[in-house]
Amino acid sequence: MAKIFHTALVSSIHKKMHGSILRRRKGHTLLSQGQRPRDPHSARQMQLRGHFNYLAGKWGALTPTQQEMWNTHASRLDKPMSGFNDFVGMNTRLLAASNSTLVIRDTPPATPDTPTYSTDFSVLFISNSTNLLSWTEPDSASLFLSIYRSVEPGFSYTKKRRWSLVATVRSDDKLYSDTHGFPQGVPIRYHARVIDPYGRQSPRTAAVPTIVSPMAFIVDTENFRIKEYTIDPLSFSRMFGTAGSGETQFNEPNHIAADQAYLYISDYGNSRVKKHLRGNFSFTGSITSLSEPTGIDCDDTYLVFIEYAVKKIRLFNKETLAPLDSQTVSHWSNGCHIYDGKLYVATGGSYQIFSYTFPGLSLVTDWTFANDSIIDITSGGGFLWATSYSQNRLLKIDPSTGSLVDTYGSFGSGDDNFSGPYGIDYYDGILYVVDYWNNRIKKHRASDWTFIEASGSTGSGQGQFSSPQGIAVA
């Protein structure tokens, strides 16, 4: 921004000139480059111009006392302005947020204080056209959250990052799905500002990029929490949970399933299945009054889990958590997995895997594996993969015949060893295995069992576990 000092030949200069804006301030003229909207005829730009015209008329209807209150408030701001601009700016935010004239403020707040910005603002990749944004509800009084988006490449002629307002939503929603039309692979960043009941804006949150990398979620059973790990390499990222029965607490959690937006957790000791948002781990619902829930899995529509104590398979709507079906079975069950139109159930002590139609839950067949107490099961590369807790090994199974194709592992703590392998999942040719008694997570190449890496030790620290059980890579 340039400052112009007038000569004797020029007494004043203002308004626009060749795309630049000249305005008077503190006895000088300031020259700044005008920022034009990309599409001045967009619905958003038309709406904002309508708000401005409406509020300009409202300003004229204020009493001299009210106008003076706005002038006083505006003079106390970090960046002083006229009372008119202060009035229009605050009320425009409220109008744009609620589309209601009922929130118009005729008088300003008592102080120029701004609200606190929202914490834990995060972005989760859902598809090539949709990102899920989440945040923790601000502690301070607030009404709305304005969400802004920047796309790279997406620079203006001034070479500055260009941010556009995506939406203004209620701050207590804590969730917003942004559907866009940008090409696949274009990096997108977001930030947000809280708006309080007067229309005051908070400072912006940090710019958050879209998270597209897969993550592993591990049930740290005896530490009563869920841990999030990056998968390449295996590295601690975040965790949540404590002992108890509250919304973010657990009592002997065991198995976990994940999709692009949510985590589904069997909270065994609290007799419930819990649903948490992946973005900020906030609690979004639960299925209660269950009898020792264990194995759990989901697909695009359904959530399925085992009630161990009553030997029952339960089917629910994944979105609403409404019950859809159930099936009483003859076996005690542990892990379960949906694959190719069937539900596979590991039975642990009876050394069997049962298969059912899915979502119909009609018995198809059962396979017996002598002395292999199978705890969990997954699929990948055209095969089923299972953990044999009793034999300290992994099983590779032909899903068409139930025949054992190969086995891997033995008892111990080395690279090729396990001590009570428990949860298992498959992603992009890699097996992720929870090594229960060794309190670690292991990665093996599925094609040849090659050991890749392990992470974890015994304890309660960030990178430590106490009897981990379930795992889900999503």
pLDDT, tens digit, for every residue of 259-283? 988 999 999 999 999 999 888 888 9
Distance (Å, rounded) from C-alpha 28 to C-alpha 237?
52
Contact of 354 with 337, CB cutoff 8 Å:
no
Phi, psi of 71, deg, nearest 5: -60, -40
Q: How many CB atoms lie within 10 A of CB 112?
A: 15
pLDDT, tens digit, for every residue of 147-176? 999 987 554 444 567 888 898 888 888 889
pLDDT, tens digit, for every residue of 54-95? 899 999 999 999 999 999 999 998 889 999 999 998 888 888
Q: What is the DSSP letter of 102?
A: G
Distance (Å, rounded) from C-alpha 167 to C-alpha 146?
6
| Average pLDDT of the residues in 97-104 | 70
Is the per-residue pLDDT at 252 higher than 60?
Answer: yes
Q: Within its chain, how far is the Cα of 18 from the centroid?
A: 45
The distance between the two most distant Cα atoms of the chain, rounded to a whole number of Å, is 102
Q: What pLDDT is stored for residue 156 in this prediction?
A: 45
Beta bridge partners of 124: 132, 211
Kindly tell me the burial class for residue 407, based on how many C-beta atoms sit within 10 Å of its own C-beta (0-12, 13-18, 19 or more).
Answer: middle
Beta bridge partners of 444: 431, 451
Contact of 229 with 177, CB cutoff 8 Å:
no
Q: What pLDDT is stored for residue 326 in this prediction?
A: 97
Q: Looking at 232-292, which runs of residues are DSSP E strands?
A: 234-240, 242-243, 249-250, 253-258, 262-267, 272-277, 283-287
Is the per-residue pLDDT at 325 higher than 50?
Answer: yes
Kindly tell me the burial class for residue 213, based on how many C-beta atoms sit within 10 Å of its own C-beta (0-12, 13-18, 19 or more).
Answer: exposed
Distance (Å, rounded) from C-alpha 336 to C-alpha 74?
62
Domain 119-209: which CATH class? mainly beta
Q: What pLDDT is stored for residue 114 in this prediction?
A: 82
Beta bridge partners of 209: 189
Q: What is the pTM of this model?
A: 0.75
Q: What pLDDT is stored for residue 157 in this prediction?
A: 45
Q: What pLDDT is stored for residue 97 in this prediction?
A: 79
Q: What pLDDT is stored for residue 12 in this prediction?
A: 58
Distance (Å, rounded) from C-alpha 250 to C-alpha 378?
25
Q: Where are the domains of the chain?
A: 119-209, 215-473
Distance (Å, rounded) from C-alpha 279 to C-alpha 123?
6
Q: What pLDDT is stored for residue 103 in this prediction?
A: 75
Q: What pLDDT is stored for residue 136 in this prediction?
A: 84
| Average pLDDT of the residues in 288-310 | 97
Is the per-residue pLDDT at 413 higher than 50?
Answer: yes
Instruction: Please name which of 170, 110, 177 lies closest in space to residue 137, comparing C-alpha atoms.
Output: 170
Top pLDDT among 435 and 207 is at 435
Cα separation of the two ends of the chain: 48
Is the per-residue pLDDT at 11 higher than 60?
Answer: no
81-85, 138-142, 327-331, 406-410 — which is least confidently predicted? 138-142
pLDDT, tens digit, for every residue of 101-156? 667 889 998 888 888 877 788 888 888 888 989 888 877 677 889 999 998 755 44
The pLDDT > 70 percentage for the chain reads 88
Q: What pLDDT is stored for residue 390 in this prediction?
A: 96
| Average pLDDT of the residues in 374-403 | 97
Q: How confident is the model at residue 214 (pLDDT cuts 50, 70, 90)?
A: confident
Q: Within its chain, how far is the Cα of 321 from the centroid?
A: 19
Q: What fold is seen in the domain 215-473?
A: Methylamine Dehydrogenase; Chain H (2.130.10)
Contact of 331 with 339, CB cutoff 8 Å:
no
* Residues in the chain, overall count: 474
| Average pLDDT of the residues in 319-339 | 96
Query: What residue type is assigned to position 66 of the chain?
Result: Q
Beta bridge partners of 317: 302
Q: Are strands 249-250 and 242-243 parallel, antiparallel or unpaired?
A: parallel
Is the per-residue pLDDT at 372 higher than 80?
Answer: yes
